[in-house]
Every structure is written in C-alpha cells, then in structure tokens.
Amino acid sequence: MKGVFAFIGFLIALPIGPGALDMNWTSKIPTEQTLQKSNVKLSDVASANPGAVVSDMLVDQAIDLAKDHDAGNRAFLTSRFEIRDSDFPEITTTKVTSTKFIKAPSTSHSHPGDTSLLLDRIDSIYNKMSLEERVGQLFMIRAHSNLGPEHVSAVKQQIKKYHVGGLCFFQGTPGGHAELINSYQKLSTIPLLVAIDAEWGGGMRFKESGMSFPRQLMLGAIQNSTMLYDMGIEVGRQLLEIGINVNFAPVVDININPNNPVINDRSFGEGMYNVTAKSYQYMRGMQAAGIMACAKHFPGHGDTDVDSHLDLPVIGHSLGRMDSVELFPFKTLIDKGVQSVMVAHLHVPSMDNTPNLPTTLSPWVVDTLLRQQLGFDGLVFTDALEMKGVTKHFGPGEVEVMAVIAGNDVLCLPADISISFPAVIKAIDSGEIPAQRLEESVKRIIRSKLRLGLFKSDTANVNPDAFPANGLALKGELIENAITAVSNEGKLIPIRKVRKKSIACLNIGSAKTTPFQERLTSYTDVKNISVTQDQLGQRRKGLLDLLSPNDIVIVSLTGMDKLAQRDFGLSAGTRAFIEQLNAETQVILVVFGSPYSLKFFEDVPNVIMAYQDDPMVQDITAQALFGAFSFRGRLPVTASSRFPVNHGLQLASLGRLGYSIPARVHMSADTLDKISLIVDEMIAKRAAPGCQILVVKDGKVIYDKAFGHFTYAGKRAVNMKDLYDVASLTKVAATTMAAMTLYEEGIFLPRQTLDYYLDDVQNTNKEHLVVRDLMAHQAGLQPWIPFYDATMSKTRSGSAPSKEFYRNHREADFNVQVARGLYMRDSQMDSIWLRILESEVRINRGYRYSDLGFYILAEIIERQTRNALDIYCTNTFYEPLGMSRTCFKPLDNFKVGEIAPTEEDRTYRKQRLQGFVHDAGSAMLGGVGGHAGLFSNAEGLAILMQMLLNGGSYGGEQYFNQKSIATFAHRVPNSTRRGMGFDMKELNPDRDIHTSPLASDGTYGHTGFTGTCIWNDPENDMIYVFLSNRTYPSSRNNKLNKLEIRERIHTLIYKSMGS
C-alpha cells in the first residue's frame, strides 16, 4: 500500500485549476519509471480529463476497497477516462485464445461454505434429479402479477412441464408478486430462484406501490459511497419480504458514452473508480440482507450507442482498453465476492471476432475470460435471450444451446421454452453439450439456492402484505447528498435574504403546480407559474413581461427525456426562452433531468442539477435552494468543458428548516400517529374545535398536521396555512425577541430598575422594580386589569360598549379599532397606561403570573427603538426570517377566512372575534401588546424557535449570539420554571407542569390563553408547536387544560423518540 499512497500523492500534486485547462494533460501522466517506483503499472493508468477535480473522498473509498489487495494492485484516483485505445497495452486483435489477459487481483475464490457436508448435499440433490429436471434448472422464465389468469396458468404449466429453476418477475404489485410466488414455489420440487430487475428498488417494477430510490446516475453524484450499503440493505429487505431472492443489480457499466440509449442513467457514471466503489457498496448491502446481487452487463455496456434490446451493439475497443476500463468494476466485485454476473449481448471483436457473435454466446468471453482469467465461480446469468441483440442472428433453441456451451449457468427469458428446452436436451444427448458442462451449472445453481437458504426457509409462505416504504428516510438522505450546485456566479444559491425580495418560479414541463413549487412557498412568498413547452411557445412574450421585473426567477425543468438523441426533450424554443429571460433578470435554473443536458446551459450563471423528476427529489431540491442543508454532490459524468465529471460546488447550509419524515430522525411514525387519537378526543369532548401541530427534530419538520375545523359547526377545515391568535406566545415571539436584540446592543439591561428607562414611573411604586423580575413574573404586579370595564355602559341585558368611548366607524379621535365596526376613543390608550402605573404592587414579590409586566416591557422597547412593537418585530424578525404568516393585526394582510375565530364575545365586543385579538387589553392598544396580539401559523413560530436552537442564526443571518439565548432561556434566581420572558419546564414536582414530564430540564417556550404552546428542547434538538382556538365559542371552556391535551401530545412526541 505504500506505493499506492505515493502514487496518489503524485496525482494530488498535479496542477488543477483554470490554468490547467491549457495544459497537455496526457504529457503529465506518470512515466514508466515513476510508476515503477510506486509499484503501479503504466497499463493501469488512464489519461485524466482536463479540468477534472480529484475527489479525496473517492480516493479514500477506493483505498478502502484496495486495503487487502496484493501489492501490485492499481492505485485509485478519480478522473474521467479518455476513449483512446493507444493509452492501453494491446493484447491481440484476433480471436483470443491467449491467457496473457491482465488478471484481477489474485485472491482465493474458494468458498468457505463449500465444506464436505455441503458438497455432499449438492451431490445428493443433483444425483436424485432426472436429466429433464437438471436441464430445467438452467431456465429462468418470465412472470408478471398483472397479466391475468391465462398468464398465471401458462407459468404454472411451464414450471411443471419444464422443471424450470427460476422466475424473473416484471410488472405487477408487491402483494400480487408475493401471492404468486407462494403459489409457484409450491409447484416446484427444487425451490425456485426468484429474480427481478430492481436496480433502484422495487419501484422499478411496481410503479404504483413500490419503493424507488434514486437512479444510479443520481447516486453517482454522492461523495460518500458507503451510503449505498444502506440502500442495498433496504432494497434487499424489501425484496426478501415478498419472496424475491435475486436482484439483477448493480449495473457496473461505466457510462462513457453520453448517447448510450439503454444504460444511461442506470450507470453510476463515467468514472470507473466511482462506479466501482458504489457498485461494491450496493452489492455488499444486498448480499448482507440475504439477496443475491448480480454485476451487469459483462464485459461492459457503457460505451454503446445501440440498445441491445433492439440490435447487437458493437464495441470496437482493444482488449487492453476493455481490461483497463470496462472490466475494472467487474474484477473488483468478483474479488469482493459478488455472487452472480450477467453477461450482455455485445459484439466485441477484440475479444471474439466471430461475425455477429454476442458476448453471451462466446466461450472465450464467458468461460476463458470470466471463469478462468477472472476466476469467477458464482452464477452466470445471460441477459434476456428474447432480446434482438441475440435473436437477430440466432434462433430459439440454437441460442440456448450456444449459451450453455459458452459457460452460462442460467438462461434468462428464452424466447420460446417449448423449442429451447428440447434443443438443450438433444444437445446433451448428442454430446454437443458435455455432461460435465451441465453438471457444473446445475451444481452451481443448487449451491446458490442452498446458500440463499431456499431449502431451509418456507418459500411457499412469504408475506404478501410486507412491502412498506421504510426506505423513504434513506431515500431522502441519498437525495440530499446527490443534488449538485454546478454554477453560482451570481451568488444566489442558496437564496439568503428573502425580505422584500420578489421571487417567481416558472416550471416548464407541466401545466400543474409541482412539488418543487409547493415547497418553495414554505420559505417565502413565491409567484408560481407552470406551463408545458407548447404553452411556453404560445405565451412567450407575456411570460417574459410577467417574469422579468422579479428580483429572482427560478426556472425548473420537468418532464424531460433522458436521451441525448432527443435533446433531452428540450425544444430549441425552450432553450432560447431561458437564455432571453436570463438576459433580463437573475435566473436560477433547476434541472430535474439528465446531467448531460447541462451542455445547453453553459451561459446560465446559476444552475442546480437535480437529476430526476421525482416528487421527493423536487421537494428536497427546494429545501436545498433555500439552505436547509448543504450542497455536496458532484457531477458523475461530463456534460461539457464547463461542467466536467466531478464538478460540483460545495455550498454550506443556511440553517433553515428542512422537511422530512419521522424515520429520518429516528422517530416512530406509528407513535406519532397516535397524536390523532388525542386530537379526536379533544374535538369530541369539545376542548377545542381544531388545531395545528408541528414537530421539528434535528432541524427537520417531521410532523405538521392540521385537525378539525374553525368551529364545531364543521364548515371550514383547518389547514397549516391558517392563522391563530397565539395569545401569550406574544411574550416570547415578540417582546422577548425584541428585548434580546436590545440586550445585545447594550441598551436593554435586565438588572436595571424601571426608572432607568421610564420617567413616568418615578415617584410611583414601579420605579424600583427590576426589569428581570418583570420578565420572570416576580415583580409583585397584579395578574391583569379589565381595562374595558371603564368603557362599558349598563343596558337592560347587561352591558355594552359606551357611546362615549366607541363609534361604529372610524372618525376623528376614534381610530383604535377593537373589533369589526367598533372603534375606540384614542385617548383611552393613555388611560390604560395610567391605570398600570397606579396599580398596586404586592409586598411579597414571589412568583405570580402577570400580563402587566409585558405592557411595561413593550413600552420600554418602543421608546428605545422609537418604533411600534409590531413594526420593529416585523422588520427585525418576521420578514427577514421568512415568517410570512406571522404578524400583528392580521386583517391588514389576510382575509378573515384565513384566521381562526377565538370567541363569541358576549362580555365586551358583543360579536364573533375573528382576525381581531382576543385579549381585551391588547385590543384596546390597537391590537399590539407586549403580552398578546400576535397571530401566526405553526410553521412561522417553528422558524423563530429553530433560529434560537441554531444559536441565533437562520437563513445565513445572525440574529443573536448563543450567550444571549442562554441568558434569557435560563431560570432566574429563586424560580423553578421562569426564565426572562421564557417559561420553562417546571422542576418542582408538587406544581402543575405545562410540558411533558419527559422534556429535558432545559426546555423553554410558553403557553397561550387561547390554547397554544411552543416548546424548544435544546438537549433533544426538538421543537413542539401546538395552536388551537380552545376559547371558541367561550373562553370559559377549560377542558383543554383539564384533559392535558397539549402535555399528552408532547409526551407522545418524546415516546416516539424512544424516551
């Protein structure tokens, strides 16, 4: 290994950067002498691609693969390989019979499990079989679960008549497959090998109910190849559940040819070491799960421009080139224990120049090369024998006989088994197929079935209902690691400041709003427009006029084609439109399609490659665009000179909220689902008519659901965009935030007395009250004052707003709107302040909850900032954070139908309160109070709380330092639950607790009178938001507290974490 490290050091020393583009890179390849010193062969080195970046991570992964190889092994590097045969040693140009082929690293290919007991078992099974049963083991036939009873009957007939050894399943459903596998296994004396093409998971065949991971080309962008091991485990687990035991994956072809019509995005890319590392991890995971993996398509299908389903591709490379590039992944996986290999239908004259002979039927390719030279002793599958790549020149029966003679073990999908089965029998009887040749293959098949446990397990009773999508969390993680920022000249990615920034998104490819566009609106207001390419052509000018004035236009491309031959489905008009739009405004282009299409967008300064048009990919890409996580991917292929393989910008996260599922953060979705039972109880017992619940764990929203309705009448269902009156959460989400900002500016000093800030309090019982005590509710203030009492007049039925103080329309001196059609006299606001100053202060200054302290704190903040509290908080926090649905006085910006009602007020305003603050004192201050007045949806509050968990940063902006947060969210002296502004978990077991008892002691937040709460748990990196209107129709309803609805839900959340 010393030589390997020396060689890698040499590579890293090569000049990389703009100046390197003009260099003759082939002249910089190490000389024979240099390589001899580092124990690396010249024939093992391919020429580097100009501008390619050497990835240390891939080098390290490759070294890990090479750790136990012999000293003469190849050094691993990451670069693109030029297609030049002159770079590789020539072996021969005629039909090869030589054994001079460069071998894979020498290692023992004996199987540790091949004990004498196992060999005896294999012999015993083999010896009991008739010739027809032995021949039948070679055949693997087609099976579907969606073709009806005639197809099922035909498959059963072939199992019984031809004793087939295996089935290859295609379209259907997981349950349908499982039921049929149960049925088919019962018919077979020897358990069936059951295979499937599930290269990216079961979703490749189960279109509606299967789990699809990203395709291999997207996975090739991931820098941490070990993630593919986890994917292999999960794919294997899911397939085993329905009775599958062989997966025809991984595809280890190196897709060097951008015009490849059949491999393309099924390959991990064009870098042979990247392909090898990822193929190895995927294979290792599947086999660890108990699934037989299959490396395909031997000897390498990546540099073709013909689909072997339709014709026979010809590869004209020399044997040296094939050995050094195409065969490299196969050699490594064989050395690492891959259990099967699939041979492709290719014509490679440098290997076998027999005219029109596919590699599948070539004895030299299958036997001499794969078996003898590479030492592979696992199962060899043919590619489908019904494909034109083999049937164009050879007929049924002839194909299968030649395939067996060539050395293949399993004959996949014969075109007509009624012809091929007797043809193989006849060839054996005549000696054309030696008996030993048959014995070798059948015993390998038996050995494989024994190793897969098919003779031990009850293969006739697999579970037809066990195909859950448990891999979604892993899929999300893979996507996050693959998305690639390929250009960021305008420094727009990720989008930072959203305040007062006009952003539009044009999706081209679908007339419907896409998941990408929907997720964008979680971060800021985005004008979404969706058009097909035809509609784009029709509306070109209008769209340009509409989009150009925006500060940023995000253009997303969906519905693309993967083939270069069809320009990836992008018309010239579409490409011209993007170019013109880019000239008129700042454009961020997001491509949900082939990375090869980037060649069309070299002049676009800001580009994200998202690889696939998949709903989850779209959602996660939108999160990446706004900085929910970092960009880490690198291009797995070369698109152009500007976008070479391994290119990718590493852009840091901005700490914004992400969105995922509970499993992603190791929480139980089943446990969280029980929240709905508590909510059902809440509604049924009329504790509240509806609510929003949101949970954030590790920076990701993993639960956000709306329940119930605005009222018990059930006419308007709650959604997550709706606004609730959050009542005393205002104390935290507005007043405390403002106080913390001023604290960091040195003008808000918690230990100072009120007379330091307010001349009004001098010579009153308030002048020596300490600010910190006000924030912790231990200043001795009264709990509240019913200010509205003094403005009411008596009526026969009770009381009503006095005409002395109120008007039903705005007029001079009556500008304070307290409800719909109700305006208070302006001077009454001063009266409120005077009543607070004149209010009593308790001699005993112990804890007693009081709103009055936050009236006073708001006054201090407004005088210090010379701004109204609502304007200050909006400008300082809500707008820059992207809290677009958090505000005071919501009717200034939202329709009344978007706001949950709080009460049928029979005491003061005599009407339904909807859009006007519930708290009477706040209403009399114009809807803006330090204690109440804020409206929000759950998501807005979660953003604010996440900023605090981030240590004061969010979206690339720093709002607080961690020390300030720790100062305020810390219990004040002599308190078991109160910080400065923040409520905290009660530590005294004899007192009521407003959090879950499972919450950590450092949990902080607040509750609200209307039935709300927000809690941050720094120890568990978790946020809980609950919003309801429990006060509707009457605030006297206290069932939410008595039933402990909020606390029980909070506890369930902890239980979902395993607490």
Q: What residues act catalytically? A: 309, 383
Non-local CB neighbours of 230 within 8 Å, separated by 6+ positions: 285, 474
Across 715-737, b (16+ Cβ under 10 Å) vs e yields ebebebebbbbbbbbbbbbbbbb
3-class secondary-structure state, position 923 = helix
Nearest to 235 by CA among 172, 285, 306, 164: 285
Residue type, 765: N
Computed from CA positions of residues 116, 122, 125, 127, in that sequence, does the dihedral angle turn out positive or negative? negative
- 101 contacts 327 by C-beta, under 8 angstroms: no
Cite the beta strand spans of 359-472 per DSSP E: 379-382, 411-412
Residue type, 620: I
Q: Can you read off the two tokens belonging to residue 527?
A: 């004008």
Pairing of strands 552-557, 503-508: parallel
Q: Can you read off the two tokens belonging to residue 535?
A: 């509609």
Non-local CB neighbours of 1036 within 8 Å, separated by 6+ positions: none
Cα–Cα distance for residue pair 78/130, rounded to 1 Å? 52
Computed from CA positions of residues 541, 547, 549, 552, in that sequence, does the dihedral angle turn out positive or negative? negative
Residue type, 687: A
DSSP 958: E
Nearest to 296 by CA among 261, 366, 361, 249: 249
Q: How far is CA 534 from CA 18, 301, 620, 736, in A?
A: 40, 36, 27, 53
Can you tell me which residue has the tokens 């189960």? 206
Q: Can you read off the two tokens belonging to residue 269?
A: 């890319």
Across 804-823, b (16+ Cβ under 10 Å) vs e yields ebbbeeeeeebebbbbeebb
Strand partners, 904: 912
State the angle between helix axes of 1045-1056 and 675-684 in degrees (0 to 180), rounded to the nearest 10: 170
Q: Which helix (H) or strand (E) holds 677?
A: helix 675-684
Segments in 806-851 forming alpha helices (H): 828-838
Cite the beta strand spans of 1009-1049 per DSSP E: 1012-1017, 1022-1028
Q: Can you read off the two tokens belonging to residue 568?
A: 């990836």
State the angle between helix axes of 472-482 and 227-241 in degrees (0 to 180), rounded to the nearest 10: 150
Q: How far is CA 249 from CA 137, 259, 520, 593, 899, in A?
A: 21, 22, 35, 22, 53
Nearest to 274 by CA among 651, 653, 648: 648
Segments in 525-612 forming alpha helices (H): 533-538, 540-547, 572-584
Cα–Cα distance for residue pair 492/490, rounded to 1 Å? 5
Angle at alpha carbon of residue 67, lines to 65 and 73, rounded to 5°? 85
**Number of neighbours of residue 511 by Cβ within 10 angstroms:** 11
Q: Order of strands, edge to edge, in the sheet holding 700-708?
A: 658-659, 700-708, 690-697, 1022-1028, 1012-1017, 1004-1008, 983-984
